[in-house]
C-alpha cells in the first residue's frame, strides 16, 4: 500500500473519535461548517486538525477519486496526518498561531511548496519537480499554522496553452468536473480549487488569477473568490503568466472565510517589488471590515455591457439590483466603462510577451534532468508526448509566446501602456470618479458551459478583464442559480479598495444567503437547495 492510498483509507469512524460537536451545536455536519467555525472549534478542542484531515481525505476518496470523480485534487500531502498531529500538540501547549491554525487548506498546483508534494502546473514536463523553497504565500500559510494537505488540478499552464482548451483539463490531472453539474465546466484556470471548495473537500483553497482564473471558477462553482490588488500578495514561487496581472487569492464558501484567509496571505516580500511599491495599503485584518449593513448608503454603479445581449442574465441582474436597493444602496444604472471592448487585443499581446519572459525565468531554475527548461523545450516536449499532452487541443499560445521578443520591444511597451489607459484612466477609475461610486457591480460570468474537448470552452461572458488588467481588486459572491447553475455577483473597484469591497460583499451575502450545496450529479439544475 502506498502512503497516498493509506491516507485515503483513513476511516470515517476515526474522525468520529477526533471530531466532537460543541455542546450547543447539535449534530456535526462538516458540509455546513465554515472555515471560521472550524477555527473556533479547533481552539475550543471540539475537534482536532487530524480528525478534520481524515474526514477530508475520506471525502476526497469518495467524491474526487471514486463516486462522481470530480478530479479536483491532483495530489495529496503524504505527511498530512503527521503535520496535523504536530499542529494539534502545539495548539494544546502554546495555543493557536492564528485563526488558520490546524485548518486544512488546498493549493493550486502552480504554487511552489518545498515538502513531499510536487509543483507542475498540470504539465507532465514538470512531473516530480519539488521546488527548493515554498512560495512566499505558502510560507505565510505555514507560519499561520494552516495544514497544507494537497494540491488542486488546474487548466494546464493556467489556461495559457491553447485557444480552444477545456478549462480544468491538464495532462497530469485530467478533466476536473463542476460539482453542480458533472457534465459542465468548472471554468478555470483555478478549476480544482473552485470545485474542491464547492464540494467541501477542504476548508478553503488558494487559486491564482491572470484574468478570471479565480473569479470565473468561483462564480461557476458557486463560491466566493477574491482577486486582490496587484502587489497585496507576493507572486514569488508561483509559476507565472504575467508579472503585470498575476496574483493569488482566496477561494472559500463565505466572505468572512475569504477575509480571514486574505489577511494571512498578505505580506511584504522583498523578492517581489510589487509588494514594496509606494502607496501599498494592507490592513492586518480584513474581517474587521465586515458589516451586515455595509450596503446602506453605498453608491454602486451597474456595469451592463458585459451581458447586454443576454436577456436571461440581464433579468437576473435586475433582481440583484433590487436586492442591493433593498439593502440601502444608491444605484447608478448603467455605469459602464467608456473603454468597454477595446482592451482584449492589447491584453493578449502583453500576456504573450510576459509569459515568455516569466516562464523562461521560472523554468531555467529546474535541474538539467527536466525536459523543459524553457518554452522552446516545453514545445518540443509536448510534441514528443502529444498523445498524452495534446490528445484534445494543441499549444498554439505557447508557440505564439515563443515568437515574441524581449520586454524592451516597442510593441510590448505600447500595448502595456494601452492596457493601463483603457482599464484605469478610461475604465474603472473614470467610472468611479464620474459617478462618485464606492464600487462597480456586474454579473461575474454566465452559467457553466458543457465540457467539450473537441471545440473547447464556450464563452458565456465575463466581467473579469478590466480589473485583471488594471491590477485592481475583484470579489465574487454566490448570487443564486440560473437554470439550476450557479451565478456570481461581482464587486470591483480601484486599487487597495478591498476593505470597501469586503464590506459590500458581506452585506450582500448576509441578505441573500445564496450559497448552495452542489448536487454532484449530471445535468442542469442539479444543485441542492
Paired residues of 147 in beta bridges? 104
Confidence of residue 526 (pLDDT cuts 50, 70, 90): low
Report pLDDT for 30: 76
What are 490's strand-pairing partners?
A: 442, 476
| Adjacent-strand bridge partners of 302 | 441
The predicted model gives 12-16 an average pLDDT of: 37
Whether residue 520 lies inside any domain: the answer is no
Q: For residue 529, tell me if it sits in a domain.
A: no
**What is the overall mean pLDDT for the chain?**
94
Q: Which residues pair with 331 in a beta bridge?
A: 300
Give the model's confidence band at 32: pLDDT under 50 very low, under 70 low, under 90 confident, else very high.
confident
Q: Choose, from 39, 213, 220, 526, the residue flagged as catalytic.
A: 213
d(CA 49, CA 116): 19
Nearest CA-CA partner of 175 in 430, 490, 453, 409:
453
User: Residue 13: is its pLDDT beyond 50?
Assistant: no
pLDDT value for 524: 72
CA distance 237 to 195: 24
- The size of the chain, in residues, is 529
Angle (nearest 5°) at CA 59 between 177 and 512: 65
The answer to the question of residue 522 being in a domain is: no
Q: Count of CB atoms within 10 A of residue 92's CB?
A: 10
What is the rounded CA–CA span in Å between residue 435 and residue 420? 20
Interatomic CA distance for residues 379 and 524, integer angstroms: 37
Q: Which DSSP symbol is given to 132? A: S
Does residue 33 lie in a domain region?
yes
For CA atoms 446, 450, 455, 456, the dihedral sign is positive
Collapsing DSSP states into helix, strand and coil, what is residue 362?
helix
Q: What are the backbone angles phi and psi of residue 206, rounded to the nearest 5°?
A: -110, 130
Its domain, for residue 382, covers 3-274+281-410+413-453+463-512
Residue 521 belongs to a domain = no
The rounded distance, in Å, linking the Cα atoms of 371 and 394 is 18
pLDDT at 5: 39
What pLDDT score does 57 carry?
Answer: 97
- 58's torsion region: left (phi>0), alpha (psi -120 to 50) or beta? alpha
Domain containing residue 389: CATH number: 3.90.1300.10
pLDDT band with cut points at 50, 70 and 90 for residue 109: very high
pLDDT at 17 over 70: no
In the set 36, 39, 108, 167, the catalytic residue is: 108
Is 140:235 a contact under the CB 8 Å cutoff? Answer: no
For 265-271, what is the mean pLDDT?
98
Answer whether residue 391 shows pLDDT above 70: yes
Mean pLDDT, to the nearest integer, of 449-455? 97
What are the helix and strand counts (H, E) for the chain? 19, 13
| Cα separation, 167 vs 457, whole angstroms | 7
CA distances in angstroms from 476 to 269, 398, 429, listed in the order given: 27, 30, 19
Q: What is the pLDDT of residue 21?
A: 35
189 in active site? yes
Instruction: Report the alpha-carbon distance of residue 161 to residue 174 in Å, rounded.
Output: 15
Active site residue 404: no
Q: Tell me, what's the pLDDT at 523? A: 84
- Number of C-beta neighbours around residue 310 at 10 A: 17
Q: What are phi and psi of 485, to 5 degrees?
A: -115, 140
Q: Rounded distance, CA 150 to CA 168, Å?
A: 17
> What residues form DSSP beta bridges with 301?
332, 440
Q: 3-state DSSP call for residue 206?
A: strand
Asked whether residue 26 carries a pLDDT value surpassing 70, the answer given is: no
With contact defined as beta carbons under 8 Å apart, do 444 and 488 qualify?
A: yes
User: Which residue did the predictor score with more confidence, 18 or 58?
Assistant: 58
Our answer to whether residue 108 is catalytic in this structure is: yes
**Integer Cα distance of 315 and 222 in angstroms:** 19
H or E element: which one contains 361? Answer: helix 344-363
Set of cell numbers at residue 156 = 494546464
H or E stretch covering 220: helix 215-221
For helices 80-94 and 49-59, give the axis angle rounded to 10 degrees: 150
Task: Identify which has the larger pLDDT, 9 or 502.
Answer: 502
User: Does pLDDT of 27 surpass 50?
Assistant: no
Phi first, then psi, for residue 348 (nearest 5°) are -60, -40
Among 72, 170, 189, 263, which one carries the catalytic annotation?
189
Q: What is the pLDDT of residue 529?
A: 53
Report the domain count for the chain: 1
In this prediction, residues 214-226 reach a mean pLDDT of 98
Kindly give, in sequence order, each residue whose CB lies less than 8 Å from that of residue 255, ignoring residues fewer than 6 positions away: 224, 290, 475, 477, 502, 505, 506, 509
The whole-number average pLDDT for the span 313-337 is 98
- Give pLDDT tens digits for 230-258: 999 999 999 999 999 999 999 999 999 99
Q: What pLDDT sits at residue 28? A: 53
DSSP state of 251: E
pLDDT bin (cut points 50, 70, 90) of residue 157 is very high
Does 199 have pLDDT greater than 80? yes
| Cα separations in angstroms, 506 against 177, 194, 330, 484, 501 | 28, 19, 17, 23, 8
For residue 458, tell me if it sits in a domain.
Answer: no
| Predicted local confidence at residue 59, as pLDDT | 97
Residue 125 C-alpha cell reads as 514536463
With bands split at pLDDT 50, 70 and 90, how would you rate the model's confidence at 4?
Answer: very low
Position 517 in a domain? no
Q: Which residue has the cell 499532452?
A: 389
Give the contacts of 387 (CB within 8 A, at least 6 positions apart): none
The span from the CA of 15 to the CA of 379, in Å, is: 46
Mean pLDDT of 354-380: 98
pLDDT of residue 407: 98
**Is 527 contained in some domain?**
no
Amino acid at each position: 500500500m502506498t502512503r497516498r492510498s493509506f491516507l485515503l483509507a483513513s476511516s470515517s469512524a476515526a474522525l468520529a473519535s477526533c471530531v466532537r460537536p460543541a455542546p450547543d451545536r447539535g449534530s456535526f455536519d462538516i458540509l455546513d461548517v465554515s472555515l471560521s467555525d472550524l477555527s473556533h472549534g479547533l481552539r475550543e478542542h471540539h475537534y482536532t486538525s487530524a480528525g478534520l484531515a481524515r474526514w477530508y481525505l475520506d471525502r476526497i476518496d469518495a467524491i474526487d477519486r471514486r463516486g462522481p470523480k470530480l478530479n479536483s485534487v491532483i495530489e495529496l500531502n503524504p505527511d498530512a496526518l503527521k503535520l496535523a498531529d504536530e499542529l494539534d500538540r502545539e495548539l494544546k501547549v502554546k495555543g493557536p498561531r492564528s485563526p488558520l491554525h490546524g485548518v486544512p487548506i488546498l493549493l493550486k498546483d502552480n504554487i511552489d511548496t518545498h515538502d513531499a508534494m510536487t509543483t507542475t502546473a498540470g504539465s507532465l514536463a514538470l512531473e516530480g519537480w519539488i521546488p527548493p523553497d515554498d512560495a512566499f504565500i505558502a510560507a505565510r500559510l505555514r507560519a499561520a499554522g494552516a495544514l497544507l494537505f494537497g494540491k488542486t488540478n488546474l487548466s494546464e499552464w493556467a489556461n495559457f496553452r491553447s485557444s480552444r482548451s477545456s478549462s480544468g483539463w491538464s495532462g497530469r490531472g485530467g478533466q476536473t468536473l463542476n460539482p453542480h453539474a458533472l457534465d459542465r465546466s468548472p471554468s478555470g484556470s483555478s478549476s480544482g480549487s473552485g470545485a474542491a471548495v464547492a464540494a467541501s473537500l477542504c476548508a478553503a483553497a488558494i487559486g491564482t488569477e491572470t484574468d478570471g482564473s479565480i473569479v470565473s471558477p468561483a462564480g461557476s462553482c458557486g463560491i466566493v473568490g477574491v482577486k486582490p490588488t496587484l502587489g497585496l500578495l507576493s507572486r514569488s514561487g508561483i509559476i507565472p503568466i504575467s508579472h503585470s496581472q498575476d496574483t493569488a487569492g482566496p477561494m472559500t464558501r463565505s466572505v468572512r472565510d475569504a477575509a480571514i484567509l486574505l489577511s494571512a496571505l498578505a505580506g511584504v516580500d522583498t523578492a517581489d517589488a510589487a509588494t514594496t511599491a509606494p502607496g501599498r495599503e494592507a490592513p492586518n485584518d480584513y474581517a474587521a471590515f465586515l458589516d451586515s449593513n455595509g450596503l446602506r448608503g453605498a453608491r454602486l454603479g451597474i456595469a451592463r455591457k458585459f451581458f447586454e445581449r443576454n436577456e436571461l442574465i440581464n433579468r437576473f441582474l435586475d433582481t440583484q439590483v433590487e436586492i442591493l436597493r433593498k439593502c440601502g444602496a444608491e444605484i447608478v444604472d448603467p455605469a459602464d466603462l467608456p473603454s468597454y471592448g477595446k482592451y482584449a487585443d492589447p491584453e493578449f499581446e502583453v500576456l504573450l510577451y510576459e509569459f515568455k519572459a516569466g516562464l523562461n525565468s521560472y523554468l531555467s531554475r529546474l535541474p538539467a534532468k527536466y525536459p523543459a527548461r524553457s518554452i522552446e523545450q516545453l514545445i518540443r516536449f509536448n510534441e514528443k508526448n502529444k498523445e498524452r499532452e495534446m490528445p484534445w487541443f494543441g499549444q498554439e499560445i505557447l508557440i505564439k509566446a515563443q515568437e515574441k521578443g524581449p520586454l524592451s520591444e516597442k510593441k510590448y511597451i505600447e500595448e502595456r501602456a494601452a492596457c493601463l489607459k483603457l482599464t484605469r484612466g478610461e475604465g474603472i477609475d473614470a467610472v468611479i470618479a464620474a459617478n462618485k461610486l464606492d464600487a462597480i457591480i456586474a454579473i461575474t460570468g454566465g452559467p457553466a458551459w458543457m465540457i467539450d474537448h473537441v471545440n473547447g470552452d464556450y464563452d458565456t461572458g465575463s466581467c473579469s478583464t478590466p480589473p485583471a488588467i488594471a491590477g485592481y481588486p475583484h470579489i465574487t459572491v454566490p448570487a443564486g442559480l440560473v437554470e439550476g447553475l450557479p451565478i456570481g455577483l461581482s464587486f470591483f473597484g480601484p486599487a487597495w479598495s478591498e476593505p470597501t469591497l469586503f464590506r459590500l460583499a458581506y452585506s450582500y451575502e448576509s441578505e441573500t444567503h445564496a450559497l448552495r450545496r452542489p448536487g454532484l450529479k449530471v445535468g442542469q439544475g442539479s444543485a441542492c437547495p
